[in-house]
Amino acid sequence: MTQLMPDSLSLLIALCLGAVIGLERELSDKAAGLRTNILICVGSCLFSILSREVAEGVPGADITRLAAQIISGIGFLGAGAIMREGEHV
């Protein structure tokens, strides 16, 4: 609970950066626009915060495992956005 302000700030920064990326993609008329990028950035930040908090209570926990899975998931979403053409996949 002592981390509430820094964690809130991290989530706000993730939201803003996701919005910037999403807005650029919306203006370029590309897949994965504003909403998608905001959700990906905020979700990734939230999962990173949660993994850190959970790992503090577990001795020998490896917090990098969740970060690796986040990267894999974003890669999967990126591949889907690249393969999408108009309304067809």
- Calculate mean pLDDT across residues 16-40: 91
Q: pLDDT value at position 1?
A: 54
- Give the list of residues 6+ apart from residue 56 with CB closer than 8 angstroms, or none: none
Q: Residue 19 above 80 pLDDT?
A: yes
Rounded mean pLDDT, 47-73? 83
In a domain, 10, yes or no: yes
- The whole domain housing 77 covers 4-83
Residue 88 in domain: no
Give the model's confidence band at 51: pLDDT under 50 very low, under 70 low, under 90 confident, else very high: confident
Q: Is residue 19 part of a domain?
A: yes
The answer to the question of residue 57 being in a domain is yes
Averaged pLDDT, 20-45: 90
pLDDT at 85 over 70: no
Q: What is the DSSP letter of 62?
A: -
Q: How many domains does the chain have?
A: 1
- Does 21 reside within a domain? yes
Measure CA 88 to chain center: 25
